[in-house]
Amino acid sequence: MSKTVFIVDDEPSIAKLLTYWVKDKWGYKVQVFDRGESMLEKLPNGPDLILLDLMLPGMSGIEILKKVHQINEHLPVIILSAQGRVEVALEALRFGAFDYFPKPIDSQRLEPAIKNAIKNYDLTRELESLRENVKQEYKFENIVSVDGKMQDVFKLMTKVLNTDITVLIHGESGTGKELIARAIHYNGIRKDKPFVVINCASIPRELMESELFGHEKGAFTGAHQRKIGKFELAHGGTIFLDEVGELEMTLQAKLLRIIQEREFERVGGNELIKTDVRIISATNRELKKAVDDKIFW
């Protein structure tokens, strides 16, 4: 399917040249506008890219750029300008332009810039679509149960959605603990942030600390480069610790520090790393008995 490029330039010769390149040579559909206001009226029709002159009658290119991103923050805009000053380029980029080209325009540079911008836009839209599908999948109404106890669980879930309170989900294996955790995340205040899962029972004990907190290069044999742990990956979002009852005591203590202080260190490192993450844990073990037996904090 051919992509559509909007060209906004009040100089007929420039608009004609751009149309020749973009449509006739590179194969895109084109709509041409001599004012930004008329282009904005057509914006809901969904171009894949805008080539926008900076100096226009009426609203300036920067004003149009701001309006475009108020309507569609991801839509790529390439700014064109006879003003070749660095300050002008920096201002355009600061307000969200994908790229900046001084006039006269170098077509050999413009063609790959357009391809990259549209490719990036396609990937962004695909990612947004996947995120929306995930959110829809884990809506409460999609978790079907007529069991009275599960209905009680749903009521409890609604109480913790818009908080950052740490949650522990207890239940037998195969009862949908991760499904509940995902539903809490994707219906809560962190729904647009990462949801990171780690199964504490499936990773060897000697590797678990590195998985959770990461490690520095040279921290141990085989640590050839720095590794980012799950807590850093989950920053701003939620980390789900499945089978948390399987964690050994030393890691439980470090987990307790994160819950209390919101900070940790990578294995082999001295840097104190602050983290903003919500912790949801699940287990099939009776943790109260484990605490009484002094095998869980």
Structural domains of the chain ordered from first start? 4-135 (3.40.50.2300), 142-292 (3.40.50.300)
So what's the pLDDT on residue 224? 85
150 pLDDT more than 80: no
Q: What is the mean pLDDT of residues 281-297?
A: 79
So what's the pLDDT on residue 254? 87
Report if pTM > 0.85: no
AA letter at 159: K
**Mean pLDDT over each residue of the chain, to the nearest integer:** 86
Q: Give residue 220's pLDDT band: very low, low, confident or very high (50, 70, 90).
A: confident
